[in-house]
Structure 1
Amino acid sequence: MSEQTPQDTAARSGETQEYLAKITNEPTNGKDLREVARVVFPANKDLDSLPLYIDGPINVEGPSSAGSDTASQHPDDIISRRSARIRPGKRVSFGSYFNAFPASYWRRWTVADSVVLRVKTTGAGSLIVYRSNARGVAQRVEDRRVEGTDTHEFELTLAPFGDGGWYWFDLISDDEGMILDEASWLVPSGDRHVGRVTLGVTTFNRPDYCVNTIKTIAAAQELDAVLDELIIVDQGNKLVSDEVDFAEAESAMNGKLRVIRQGNMGGSGGFARNMYEVLQGRETPQGVEKSDYVIILDDDILLETEGVLRAAAFADMCHTPSIIGGHMFDMYNKPLLNAYAEVVNPYRFLWGPIDGLGGVDFAERGLRSRPRLHRRWDADYNGWWMCLIPRVVMEDIGLSLPVFIKWDDSEYSLRAKEAGYPTISLPGAAVWHVSWADKDDAVDWQAYFHERNRLIAALLHSPYSKGGRMLRESITTDTKHVVSMQYYPAKSVLLAIQDVLAGPDGLHEMLPTRMPEIRAMKDDYSDARVVKDPADLPPVRRKKPPKTMEAPKAPTKPQLIPWAVRTVLKQTLRPVRDMAKENPEANVAHMDGHWSYLATLDSAIVSNADGTGASWYRRDPAQVRELMTESIKLHAELFAQWESLSKQYRAALPDITSPEAWARTFAENGPKK
């Protein structure tokens, strides 16, 4: 990427103005149209992600067939980001995650009542437009014969898409083959203006990922039409600005990059800073200007830049200001979607994908083969790996909770929903991110934040007395840690409850300190110390090996309480077997480390999630007694004080999330030397 000359900058500015005019003034049948989604193809001709752009064969029952027409695209068939070749006699469907049009989402949430499909082709063949209903049943809408080089338009109603449904098109080439030159989806623009966007990234010691993201954004010239600036909040000591390619990437951004350094306050502190900067605006020759939206992006992602344009266009057209979330695909298994729509169960107060909408692998079956994805699914929240938040929402409800990590994103959407602002997880806007399946965050230092922040969110938003089932699940989780010989996360959970009982006043103060304090406890617990080389651990020995190679089955729900009582008593009173004090009784793979299995052992070597090491779990009856006694005491106290604590946290919420409170915290926590 070469340094930008004034001539390059001027040329790019002219291209931006041309593009802006193009997306906002496209008259068809007397209507001004706005381009809201372009048909695109993977950057660098990445075949791993191709199933998200070109749909495989229809196969509702199972994985796609390897030899079919649409499953056998060659890299050379991708001509550019917008153009593809259809080989002689072949049929290609663009009824895919990134290139079909999510009509039901536009019907439900925006002012649009119709959409125009515009397709430019070269060569002879057939162009067929389809739509689906909420049950995933496909219906042919229109088909045309095409030849030569021509542009074809289809004006399509959004009226029948109340509960679900998509639009898409297929191309079938004649014997000479044909080319899709470009295609896009446009909606009547009405009097809606084109909103301006600030992209906000928070990072801690991932400078290589951040520089790659800067380069990706700089190379996407179409973003110039909506992008005010990219703000990187650097909270680490491996600085983005010190990365080898940073200067080149910065130059390519043409003055639209700003790096802010501050102390490590986690995701909530970093993203709150992005929000804060958007509220303050930026100095320009014309005065202080403010973006309409901030789009929050995680640092360890690969960005599909088309999603930024789609999220901004969708937000511009919404009936009411709305939080627009992007989906998260697995960076190491690119067609795998982690969650299609996520909700918070109000009784359990637990987050997660709607049943059946997690772990969607588009390499096995494409969009047209997944009827459940044709229904519109309404989310409670969207993760902050990619999430658009309107400035007017931040002005109304404030910034993130000061909670470091975990539950900051879901709590924010719950708070917004109570104020009348929905969250919409928008199909076709997405990033690739390292999967949480490769992380140990339930048993490392993050266990503290899982517990504390879930409790705080429940105190703020649970509609049920005593938080519904929240406290019961809390004591169950802590007990599982104890009987699994996971004493470090068990203790972390108890510290989390103590901090919740202390009330909301100290949240800002402990923001930069609590994480290092929790991590410093690791040395006191064998289960928290990760050994990289297996040879440094003693070999497995057991006087009486188990009679079966299968791990014990988990107790059923009716069996759970008696099992738990029996297991806790056994672990509290029964001495540790002598041999287990010197040698582990089993090697346990991470995927097999279920609490019901670990509870039967006196010691074990347990692998961590990413496979880089293992820890030696060792049963300690004295710790079991101490931790369980403290757990019962603290949970009883939390139960007794729930209503008064809920009032305290709800009363404090406007202050602790205010820009003024965050400004004081930013001022007090500058970058570490």
Structure 2
Amino acid sequence: MSGPRPEDAPAPAWTTAREALDAPPGLPPALYLRLDGPDGARAPGRFPVALEAGETLSLDTWFNHFPLPWWRAHGAPGPLAFEAALEGPGTVVLHARAPGAAAVALARSEVEGGTVRLPVPAAAQGRLWAEIRAAGPLRLRAARWAVQAAPRPVRLSLGLVAHDREGPLAETLAEALRAAQARPEIARIWLVNQGAPFADPELRRLAADPRVSLIEQANLGGCGGFVRTMTEALATPGLTHHLLMDDDIRLDGRMLGRAVDHLALLREPRALGGAMLDLRAPTLVHEAGAAVGRFGVIRPAAQGADLATAEGLAPFAALQPVEFNGWWFFALPLDALRAAGLPPPLFLRGDDLDLSRRLTAAGAPTATPPGLSVWHEPFYAKATSWQHYYDLRNRLIHAALHDPGDPPRALDVLERLLTPALSHDYATAEWRLLALRHFLGGPRALFARPPQEIHAEVAALAPGLRPQPLDAAPEGLPVIAQPPGPVSAAAHARGFALATLALAAPRREPFALVHEKAALPGATLARAHVRSDPAGTWFRLHAPRRRVALSLLARSLWASLRYRLRLRRALADWREGAEAARAPEAWARLFESPR
């Protein structure tokens, strides 16, 4: 018998991998399109973009370039091309820039209008972009990057968690609903409110949309809110993916359509992350995915890169190492979530990392494509406080669950305790001591208490030991900036010793303005100082208190010794107890907690 041969099968249609985007009002135009001509640069406006003779429209931008290294690692195999729908005469040129190399022209086409397709050569390397040069009046109606591959079906739900940030939430929800109108693949939105009932009439109107399911529940932290949306998605037939978003992001709703396009064309199952751009400096990268180091330390990709410049885009000519993406924009395949299971109830800080590790083990590692992003308040702009409790506690839990063969050593823990204790950040030392105590107490004791009760204890801790907030730093103080590299263990030890000795004669007048990551005991030496983030968004006065510091020093030494003695037992307790706490029935009981 004979039948059709594989080579006789029709080729797949061209499918959108990435649609070209114009800049909406209020978002940085330099990240979308750039228009230059004989009289200099001008704003290109919205589609259709009109060009005069001699002008050039460039797609060499964050949102409109094509990240070929990322696509070859994660996207569907098949021929790639750039397509543009034009009216009028001009030239379309396809460019590439490999890492460390000059830009090269890969292909060009002279056009009089219509749709042009420029194939991407198989030998192309690095970032791709197109330029359109007008020979006369010309209009670009639309453009896209396309792949000749069949997309997988995608049916996406969204999960939003709210806690008393109604203004940004209303904007994000409005963008999401507009995206759902344009993209029928977006099937459902779950909005979990863990704060006060909504007061904003516009937000109440948006939340009443039939595509939105509003759930009011007790404050279970970001972890509990997002897990609630996951459980709802898992219970809904027909959904393939679920996308988590923070309530305080700035969202270009077309990112949801871009996420759908990428999910449909992934080569293998992946959790898809979006980069975080700095809401205060909106062309800067805060985190474009991240690698994960020892002790669960996050190493952000391309942090600080200015995406409005060629230098800022240069890192994306190569594939960035990514193991993790935060839940400000994170889409996960539901089949992988079923296999991985839910994270334990960590309240906040570290829940996203835990789930990323579980999804990777279930066959869906994280991938963060360049050009998929949201804006978010940067972490440096938030003066740290009780979050130190969750940072340390949950990193210890993470090590117990995922790296039990290489947990933090007692000296690692001691450094985490002594650094704030000997640099006048006494409340942070108290939060970390409580975190260590709760970790060593094990999961049964911790998870037997309602998360709201634990959070209330943490938030109320050490009110008399917190630094004094300031509106600004006193004028004339010298600045101590963040050290350029990591501080060695020997340097830490010398700093601890010198800071302890300096407590014999503390100085209570501020001697310097110290950036937060430079506020080490060896730099402050029992001297009052004003602490700030590098951008100067907050200021706090830290003053030495000899008795408090010596008490914390003694308690930190005892706590680190206790950690060393009890670590093996704690690791075993957490591996067993966390499994019970992350079971669906355990989460269901938490969801029933009174508001």
The TM-score with structure 1 as length reference comes to 0.80
Aligned to 2:586: 661
Quick one: which of 298, 323, 340 aligns to 1:351?
298
Q: Cα distance, 1:111 vs. partner?
A: 3.0
Following the alignment from structure 1 to structure 2, what is the Cα–Cα distance between the partners of residues 55 and 375?
23
Aligned to 1:486: 425
Q: Is the 8 A contact 2:161 2:226 kept in 1?
A: yes
Following the alignment from structure 1 to structure 2, what is the Cα–Cα distance between the partners of residues 616 and 131?
50
User: What are the equivalent positions in structure 2 for 1:534-613 lying under 5 Å apart?
Assistant: 549=478, 557=488, 558-571=490-503, 574=504, 576=506, 580=508, 584-586=509-511, 588=513, 594-596=519-521, 599-606=524-531
Aligned to 1:183: 143
Please list the CA deviations of residues 466-524 of structure 1 after superposition, one character each: whole Å capped at 9, or x if unmatched.
44xx6433322321101111110001001000111011224443422222211112422
Aligned to 2:565: 640
Aligned to 2:243: 295
User: Would you say 1:168 and 2:129 are equivalent positions?
Assistant: yes
Following the alignment from structure 1 to structure 2, what is the Cα–Cα distance between the partners of residues 370 and 431?
17
Q: Cα distance, 1:403 vs. partner?
A: 1.0
Secondary structure at the aligned position of 2:120 is classed as strand
Q: Cα distance, 1:143 vs. partner?
A: 0.6
Q: Is the 8 A contact 1:136 1:373 kept in 2?
A: no
Q: Cα distance, 1:97 vs. partner?
A: 1.4
AA aligned opposite 2:46: I
Following the alignment from structure 1 to structure 2, what is the Cα–Cα distance between the partners of residues 507 and 70?
67
Following the alignment from structure 1 to structure 2, what is the Cα–Cα distance between the partners of residues 446 and 372?
31
Following the alignment from structure 1 to structure 2, what is the Cα–Cα distance between the partners of residues 478 and 533?
28
Following the alignment from structure 1 to structure 2, what is the Cα–Cα distance between the partners of residues 662 and 600?
47
Q: Is the 8 A contact 1:124 1:173 kept in 2?
A: yes
Please list the CA deviations of residues 347-394 of structure 1 after superposition, one character each: whole Å capped at 9, or x if unmatched.
x5411214xx2111123x137x74332001131100111000111121
User: Would you say 1:431 and 2:374 are equivalent positions?
Assistant: yes
Secondary structure at the aligned position of 1:43 is classed as coil
User: Would you say 1:32 and 2:13 are equivalent positions?
Assistant: yes
AA aligned opposite 2:114: D
AA aligned opposite 1:154: L
Aligned to 1:543: none
Following the alignment from structure 1 to structure 2, what is the Cα–Cα distance between the partners of residues 406 and 70?
51
User: Would you say 1:228 and 2:187 are equivalent positions?
Assistant: yes
Aligned-pair identity in percent equals 22
Following the alignment from structure 1 to structure 2, what is the Cα–Cα distance between the partners of residues 316 and 70?
41
Q: Cα distance, 1:566 vs. partner?
A: 2.6
Aligned to 2:4: none
Following the alignment from structure 1 to structure 2, what is the Cα–Cα distance between the partners of residues 97 and 606?
34
Following the alignment from structure 1 to structure 2, what is the Cα–Cα distance between the partners of residues 375 and 613?
36
Please list the CA deviations of residues 409-466 of structure 1 after superposition, one character each: whole Å capped at 9, or x if unmatched.
122112222333211011121101111111122xx11111111111111122226434
Q: Is the 8 A contact 1:55 1:70 kept in 2?
A: no
Aligned to 1:145: 110
Which 5+ residue runs of structure 1 have no aligned equivalent? 1-27, 57-67, 282-288, 541-545
User: What are the equivalent positions in structure 2 for 1:55-74 lying under 5 Å apart?
Assistant: 69=37, 73-74=41-42
Following the alignment from structure 2 to structure 1, what is the Cα–Cα distance between the partners of residues 147 and 533?
49
Aligned to 1:49: 28
Q: Is the 8 A contact 1:466 1:639 kept in 2?
A: no
Please list the CA deviations of residues 100-119 of structure 1 after superposition, one character each: whole Å capped at 9, or x if unmatched.
12222222123322223221
Following the alignment from structure 2 to structure 1, what is the Cα–Cα distance between the partners of residues 156 and 97?
32
Q: Is the 8 A contact 2:480 2:513 kept in 1?
A: no
Q: Cα distance, 1:262 vs. partner?
A: 0.9
Closer, same or farther in 2 for the Cα pair 1:222/1:100, shift >3 Å? farther
Closer, same or farther in 2 for the Cα pair 1:70/1:168, shift >3 Å? farther
Q: Is the 8 A contact 1:331 1:433 kept in 2?
A: yes
Aligned to 1:79: 46
Quick one: which of 552, 564, 587 aligns to 1:627?
552
Q: Cα distance, 1:182 vs. partner?
A: 0.2
Q: Is the 8 A contact 1:323 1:387 kept in 2?
A: yes
Closer, same or farther in 2 for the Cα pair 1:643/1:310, shift >3 Å? farther
User: Would you say 1:213 and 2:213 are equivalent positions?
Assistant: no
Secondary structure at the aligned position of 1:302 is classed as coil
Secondary structure at the aligned position of 1:358 is classed as coil
Closer, same or farther in 2 for the Cα pair 1:440/1:124, shift >3 Å? same
Closer, same or farther in 2 for the Cα pair 1:349/1:660, shift >3 Å? same
Aligned to 2:307: 362
Q: Is the 8 A contact 1:136 1:370 kept in 2?
A: no
Q: Is the 8 A contact 1:278 1:290 kept in 2?
A: no
Q: 4+ residue stretches of structure 1 with deviation over 4 A? A: 68-73, 134-137, 531-534, 548-556, 589-593, 604-616
Secondary structure at the aligned position of 1:453 is classed as helix
Aligned to 2:6: none
Secondary structure at the aligned position of 1:220 is classed as helix
Closer, same or farther in 2 for the Cα pair 1:115/1:70, shift >3 Å? farther
AA aligned opposite 2:127: W
Aligned to 2:458: 518
Please list the CA deviations of residues 572-615 of structure 1 after superposition, one character each: whole Å capped at 9, or x if unmatched.
xx1546xx4xxx44473656962347633443454688868754
Closer, same or farther in 2 for the Cα pair 1:526/1:152, shift >3 Å? closer
Following the alignment from structure 1 to structure 2, what is the Cα–Cα distance between the partners of residues 145 and 608?
52
Aligned to 1:107: 72
Aligned to 1:246: 203
Q: Is the 8 A contact 1:79 1:85 kept in 2?
A: no
Aligned to 1:65: none
Aligned to 2:223: 268
Q: Is the 8 A contact 1:280 1:290 kept in 2?
A: no
Q: Is the 8 A contact 2:244 2:331 kept in 1?
A: yes
Following the alignment from structure 2 to structure 1, what is the Cα–Cα distance between the partners of residues 492 and 471?
35
AA aligned opposite 1:167: L
Following the alignment from structure 1 to structure 2, what is the Cα–Cα distance between the partners of residues 624 and 276?
46
Quick one: which of 253, 267, 284 aligns to 1:319?
267
Following the alignment from structure 1 to structure 2, what is the Cα–Cα distance between the partners of residues 552 and 188?
51
Closer, same or farther in 2 for the Cα pair 1:79/1:454, shift >3 Å? same
Aligned to 2:363: 420
AA aligned opposite 1:658: A
Which 5+ residue runs of structure 2 have no aligned equivalent? 1-8
Closer, same or farther in 2 for the Cα pair 1:500/1:184, shift >3 Å? same
